[in-house]
Structure 1
Amino acid sequence: MPRNRRTSSEPPATSRWRSRHGRGARGPVTGPHLPMLNNRIDAFDMTVASTADYLKGIWPNELSDVHFEVAATPIGITGDDGVDRWQVDHAHRRVVLYRVPIQRLAKLHRNDDLHRRMYVEGCVFRAVAELLGKDPWDLAPERFRHF
């Protein structure tokens, strides 16, 4: 029968930090000198924020008091055609974009970072157009006239 090498009754110092093989505490995967990796939630939030800032720059008077929010999913609110992608509150001047339905229910012809970003930007444009009572193509007409 093998003998236990531990002579004292208290656990070794390395088990208090849950390190493996005495290497110390675990740290981030990217290391101390590299930025953290971006995930889908951060990319979605940054896309919504940058698109909202772009639209606020084009329509400063109409969108100055509009608040943009991101929620995971709608709670008990479904539209006539299924799950809502966004909700516009005209009274409180608020636009809420729902991340999970926008990301998971998109039927993209090419599922890469560029097309996912363009789809999120399109949802922000359509939500703002619904708030302002305009066509989404009328929000930034000069952007598409580069010929």
Structure 2
Amino acid sequence: MNSKLPDRPSGPRRNRHGRGRRGPLIPMHLPAYRSRPERFDDAVMASAQRLAQRWPGKIEKIEFLIDPVPSDKLLDQASALGERVPLASSVPAGARSPARIIIYRLPIEQIAENTGELLDLVHQCVVHEVAQLWMKPISEVDPSYFPEDPDF
């Protein structure tokens, strides 16, 4: 007896009673609609756009990446030097690759106590890394930048 099961329709999965997910659980206009990683991505993009207004044409040449945590190599280096977990890092432009700034999401989210502080920390990381890439003082990259920690 050789029977073939009918093809199941692709699309949202429903249970055997015809119930189940029918659409988004949270309306799009509510803040919880976007996940934490998506909101973090938005914060990095907002910071980059803020700098792009001051430095048109230069910020666009930098590639912004977001990783959950720093690599083991970076963590080992920070540990050996007695430093805290890196919040961001940068890689200068190469012959065939653009300059890159990598922002580490989880360490920043753990430090920030609220959304406003998270936005400030993200912007501080972006400004600090841009200043390192361009070898300019932080105050020149973003004059409105006033870090509370001078050892940032």
Partner of residue 116, structure 1: 118
Local SS of the residue matching 1:83: coil
User: What is the TM-score when the length of structure 2 is the normalising length?
Assistant: 0.67
**Distance in 2 between the 1:45 and 1:67 partners?**
13
Q: Is the 8 A contact 2:44 2:122 kept in 1?
A: yes
Partner of residue 7, structure 2: none
- What is the identity, as a one-letter code, of the residue corresponding to 2:102? V
Identity in percent: 24
- What is the identity, as a one-letter code, of the residue corresponding to 1:24? R
Instruction: Kindly name which structure, 1 or 2, has the bigger radius of gyration based on alpha carbons.
Output: 1
Partner of residue 25, structure 2: 29
**Distance in 1 between the 2:118 and 2:41 partners?**
13
Corresponding pairs, count: 119
Unaligned runs of 5+ in 1: 1-15
**Distance in 2 between the 1:18 and 1:100 partners?**
35
Q: Is the 8 A contact 2:127 2:142 kept in 1?
A: no
Local SS of the residue matching 1:91: coil
**Distance in 1 between the 2:93 and 2:115 partners?**
35
Partner of residue 101, structure 1: 107
1:49 to partner: Cα distance:
0.6
Q: Is the 8 A contact 2:108 2:118 kept in 1?
A: no
Kindly report the root-mean-square deviation, in angstroms, between the aligned alpha carbons of the 2 structures. Answer: 2.3
Higher mean C-alpha deviation, range 129-138 or range 95-104: 129-138
User: What is the TM-score when the length of structure 1 is the normalising length?
Assistant: 0.69
